[in-house]
Structure 1
Amino acid sequence: MARAIYFDHDGALDDLLSLTLLTRYRGVSLKGVTVTPADCLIEPAVSVTRKILDLAGAQHVPVAAGTLAGPNPFPLEWRVDALRADALPVLNQRAENTARLSPLPAHLQLAEWLSTAPEPVTLLMIGPLTNLAWCLREHPEVESKIAELVFMGGAIDVAGNVDRPGHDGSAEWNVYWDPAAARRVFESEIPITLFPLDATDQVPITPEFARSFGRHYGSPLSDLAGSLLAMTFGCFETTGFSYCCWDSLTTSYLAEPDLCEFEDVRCVVLTEGVSQGRTVRADSGRLVKCAKKVDAQRFYRHCLDVLAESTGTPAFSTQ
């Protein structure tokens, strides 16, 4: 039986690559997508999400727009990437979107999906945990409906990527955007598989990786992937850090769980002070399955192999 997945992302370029990969995975049944208004402008992020589902032949998958905001906003210059991606020619071959748009905001829709799930599901969350934290606070009974949370977030034994006035730089952005939400989820009993910067920074987007999709030009999802990767160029020159496959590596775990080596780690989320949003090792902390070492070349081949064979027909199960 296919693994039931609910997917929450926040509209950045790597999030969109993750969605593209997710539509190709066999053995995965994508049940719904929620979009958190974190590293994106929400309207184009929802629009481009629906267009990718259309392109992948997954119009039946519903999309819900997030309305809950975290206290620490992403820089606006990062959030406009969804606006640019929404205008890519490969995504605008149709006059209008046909993928389903939920009438409910993302947090309410996620709560409904979880409460009515016939059996425990997997949550793939590659943005902040705000929607899930709301569900756990307002509908604690849904916790039992979650078999596993696969989460891109945190920095355990490496520096963070938050560079904001008054912060010490120890936090990762998905946790920093809403530290209290992350802490609430980490205080639950949900099994968590964590992909922190320790692992995801091992797979930077290299020119060779991005340009490899050009050898498969004419395959729509491969063209989309190459365009999204090309749009990340200039990140180091403008921000001082490399754009990495933070989210797509996390997503690949659903298809290739042995791409990474893992360590059991106990950690807590700090919610106050100059280190707010930091994930810290603590003997009394929450036990998580933490990705530590990545087979980077195998990951790059995985992405190319999955998307180069794409034809626009969904590879994942709809059952």
Structure 2
Amino acid sequence: MVSGWTTKTTTMSLHKWRAAVLAAAFVVAGCAAVEAAAGGPRRILVDTDTDTDDLLALLYILKQNRSEFDLKAVTINANAWSDAGHAVNHLYDILYMMGRDDIPVGVGGDGGISNSGTIHPNVGGYLPLIDQGMSRIGGCRYRQAIPLEGGGRLDINTNFGIRRGFLPQGHRGYTPLHQPTAQVMIDTISAGPTTVILIGAHTNFAIFLMTHPHLKRNVEHIYIMGGGVRSKNPTGCCPKNATTSCMPEQCGDHGNLFTSYSTNPNSEFNIFGDPFAAYQVFHSGIPITLVPLDATNTIPINEEFFYEFQRHQSTYEAQYCFKSLKMARDTWFNDRFYTSYFMWDSFTAGVAISSMRNDKNGEFGNDFAELEYMNITVITSNKPYGVHDGSNPLFDGRTTPKFGLQKGGVHSGHVQTGITDSFCRIKGSNKGRCEDGYTKEVSGPESVHIRVAIKAKPNVDMNSPLDREFFKSFLEALNGLENSGSFDFKAQFPFYREILYKPDFKHKYFGKSVIVDMDMSPGDFMSLIYLLKAPIEVIDVKGILVSGNGWANVASIDIMYDILHMMGRDDIPVGRGNTTALGTPSLGCHYVSIIPQGSGGLIDSDTLYGLARSLPRSPRRYTAENSVNMVLLETLTIQNFGSHWLLKFGRLSKSSLIQMRRSLFLPMDLLQIWPISCSLTGMQFL
């Protein structure tokens, strides 16, 4: 049980904490009554990881009548499915399309948490609370469950490549050190009663609650998509006519961690992203409605809904959502998309809107979901409690637990160290035993009485092809003329043409042929521009390899395309290399974890300190449908290869060289490495 936490000025005892929770509950109820009586619009803050289903949820909320529901702020959960630099500009473009540049977007922050538990201002939420120190450097204990490439962060950061081809470019963009998440939350919630919708990990909001407990009185209600209580995962099951050799995967699990059910079959991605933070939110004393997998598993994007959506795309926002869903379907890892992709966050938005509307009218029901109350907690560590095995930084090596936690309490057990944690494995079974992030029904002092959606309601219109009531509401909202988007990219720039600029070198003498390998840091781009400015008679850049395990996330390959377009060198092919270092798992951050995620690190590289927005937009971009891990140097042939040289800026892996040789059908001895030292003042060939 939490006995309190230490902030910059306050350490709350267990007694004071319980008293504060009770007082906050009464104050919140009073505020809600005043707001309802006043008849004003519900003020909403959404904290999102900008996954595809989050975009559907956000646009559904934006389409509501603003006299009823007014979205006041969006904050970015930066330790889950998207990376902060890509997510913030994505949201700016969506809000610009919808004519809502008035909505602030909170992203990042460079504050930290001291070893003693002091929470400094503007913690950016890049790391789960349990691993957050004074810097923005850290591992990926929970986040490694999320794939890095296809179906994971690469596709989410780019929205499968659709974002750059469809959305208009907003006037706002990422600016270093501006609008940190914590400050946006403080400003929004302190301005008046606010409903908070959490559709990602809970890191940001937990930090807000821990540092500003006096502002809990302004939080009317929390709606959460996350967890699985009594849920039974319908995916990964063997068909009825399967042979005895069929091994069920996630079938019947409470959770949906498709990369980690062998160690943790109980957790769902949003809660697993930061279990300790989720515990703080659930135990805050603020009224909560939880929309877990129990409910979302009953509303898959079935074939009937998909094709009905395909027929109804009368607004830009409807088109963008459908294109996103279609690409998710077309790139799905198996042929069971219609039974395994669910309306997770958009359904939560619908439940929230319906509950707020009905509660205001005194009906206390929900049009889209069946609800019931349950006693729940969030599991943050595994039994036995009080055994220090090096997995739990809140207790291990400490005479006093961090945040004033209770010795031997529910937070003091083994904390899952990663998706392959041997502690979590059961010998002879493909299902693990860890429960980190499990939203579990319990009794006693650990339980929290909350409202839970258990099932999506069927469509009341029996003649409709849509079998869920929310499907109808969703399509009506997105296709409604009210609060519609103003334009897409083509409408914003009607004279833009996708033209590839390629120089004419017919009568030129070519110098040394080079291949550039880089990790897309700002310094790498400066060096590349320097090379491109050199006479072709001296250096002939034949191709570029980019890696995603350095100073930028791999989705920043689009910046590379834009720079080449600006330089008139659309003839230079770009190959995408590994996203993890050789000899390390494909899910993880073994070496890249030493690179800061905040200022001076990944967020600045992924945006070129905000300057990437000013580059001309190349016709080339990453697209999931055309993606191949190594599309290397298709213009090179043995006839013009001669003695090629390779400039090494970033991490050049042996596999990159081998793949290059295979792609070009060349003997390995023709590839020579010419390393160079790059600096802001120039380059030195070694």
Please confirm whether the aligned pair reaches a TM-score higher than 0.5, indicating the same fold: yes
How many Å separate the matches in 2 of 1:171 and 1:208? 30
Post-superposition Cα deviations, 1:161-196, rounded to whole Å, max 9, x if no partner, equal 124276231011111110000011111111001000
Amino acid at match of 2:478: L
Aligned to 1:33: 74
Amino acid at match of 1:31: K
Aligned to 1:155: 228
CA contact (8 A) 2:94 2:167 kept: no
Aligned to 1:294: 456
How many Å separate the matches in 2 of 1:65 and 1:59? 15
Post-superposition Cα deviations, 1:193-236, rounded to whole Å, max 9, x if no partner, equal 10000001111112332232332345211101211211221435
How many Å separate the matches in 2 of 1:255 and 1:196? 16
Q: CA shift at 1:278, angstroms?
A: 0.5
How many Å separate the matches in 1 of 2:340 and 2:92? 28
Q: Secondary structure at the match of 1:80?
A: helix
How many Å separate the matches in 2 of 1:47 and 1:3? 26
Structure 2, unaligned stretches of length 5 or more? 1-39, 109-123, 129-140, 232-253, 356-365, 383-433, 459-467, 486-686
How many Å separate the matches in 2 of 1:143 and 1:128? 19
Aligned to 1:63: 105
Which residues of 2 match residues 132-147 of structure 1 at below 5 A? Answer: 132-147=205-220
Range with bigger deviation, 292-301 or 263-272: 292-301
The alpha-carbon distance between structure 1 residues 42 and 90, as it changes in their structure 2 partners (threshold 3 A), is: closer
Aligned to 2:196: 123
- Alignment of 1:79 with 2:177, yes or no, is no
Aligned to 2:683: none
Aligned to 1:6: 45
Aligned to 1:110: 185
Post-superposition Cα deviations, 1:118-154, rounded to whole Å, max 9, x if no partner, equal 3x21001111111111011112112111010001011
Which residues of 2 match residues 81-96 of structure 1 at below 5 A? Answer: 81-85=155-159, 87-88=161-162, 92=166, 94=168, 96=169
Q: CA shift at 1:61, angstroms?
A: 0.8
CA contact (8 A) 2:62 2:71 kept: yes
Point out the structure with the larger helix share: 1
Whichever of the two has the greater Rg, that structure is 2
Q: Secondary structure at the match of 1:88?
A: helix
Range with bigger deviation, 46-55 or 193-202: 46-55
How many Å separate the matches in 1 of 2:260 and 2:227? 16
TM-score if structure 1 supplies the norm length?
0.90
Which residues of 2 match residues 1-319 of structure 1 at below 5 A? Answer: 1-26=40-65, 27-37=68-78, 38-66=80-108, 67-68=124-125, 69-70=127-128, 71-73=141-143, 74-77=146-149, 78-85=152-159, 87-88=161-162, 92=166, 94=168, 96-99=169-172, 103-114=178-189, 116-118=190-192, 120-158=193-231, 159-162=254-257, 163-164=259-260, 167-233=263-329, 234-235=331-332, 237=334, 242-257=340-355, 258=366, 259-273=368-382, 274-284=434-444, 285-296=447-458, 297-310=468-481, 313=484
How many Å separate the matches in 2 of 1:13 and 1:42? 15
How many Å separate the matches in 2 of 1:210 and 1:90? 23
CA contact (8 A) 1:61 1:99 kept: no
Q: Secondary structure at the match of 1:14?
A: helix
Amino acid at match of 2:228: A
Task: Report how many aligned residue pairs link the two structures.
Answer: 311
Aligned to 2:37: none
How many Å separate the matches in 2 of 1:208 and 1:43? 36
TM-score if structure 2 supplies the norm length?
0.43
Q: Secondary structure at the match of 1:230?
A: helix
How many Å separate the matches in 2 of 1:100 and 1:146? 29
Q: Secondary structure at the match of 2:440?
A: strand
How many Å separate the matches in 1 of 2:77 and 2:180? 10
The alpha-carbon distance between structure 1 residues 218 and 299, as it changes in their structure 2 partners (threshold 3 A), is: closer
Q: Secondary structure at the match of 1:292?
A: strand
How many Å separate the matches in 2 of 1:142 and 1:304? 36
Amino acid at match of 1:279: T
- What RMSD, in angstroms, separates the aligned Cα atoms of the two structures? 2.3
Q: CA shift at 1:75, angstroms?
A: 2.5
The alpha-carbon distance between structure 1 residues 255 and 91, as it changes in their structure 2 partners (threshold 3 A), is: farther
The alpha-carbon distance between structure 1 residues 303 and 269, as it changes in their structure 2 partners (threshold 3 A), is: same
CA contact (8 A) 1:48 1:86 kept: no
Structure 1, unaligned stretches of length 5 or more? 315-319
The alpha-carbon distance between structure 1 residues 106 and 184, as it changes in their structure 2 partners (threshold 3 A), is: same
CA contact (8 A) 1:126 1:152 kept: yes
Amino acid at match of 1:186: F
Post-superposition Cα deviations, 1:258-302, rounded to whole Å, max 9, x if no partner, equal 211111011111111311111110112011100012125211111
Q: Secondary structure at the match of 1:232?
A: helix
Q: Secondary structure at the match of 2:334?
A: helix
CA contact (8 A) 1:17 1:228 kept: no
- Identity within the alignment, %: 29
CA contact (8 A) 1:14 1:228 kept: no
Range with bigger deviation, 5-14 or 99-108: 99-108
Higher relative contact order (CA 8 A, sep 6+): 1
How many Å separate the matches in 1 of 2:484 and 2:472? 21
Aligned to 1:317: none
The alpha-carbon distance between structure 1 residues 113 and 89, as it changes in their structure 2 partners (threshold 3 A), is: closer
Q: Secondary structure at the match of 1:256?
A: helix
CA contact (8 A) 1:55 1:91 kept: no
The alpha-carbon distance between structure 1 residues 81 and 90, as it changes in their structure 2 partners (threshold 3 A), is: closer
Amino acid at match of 1:267: I
Q: Secondary structure at the match of 2:370?
A: strand
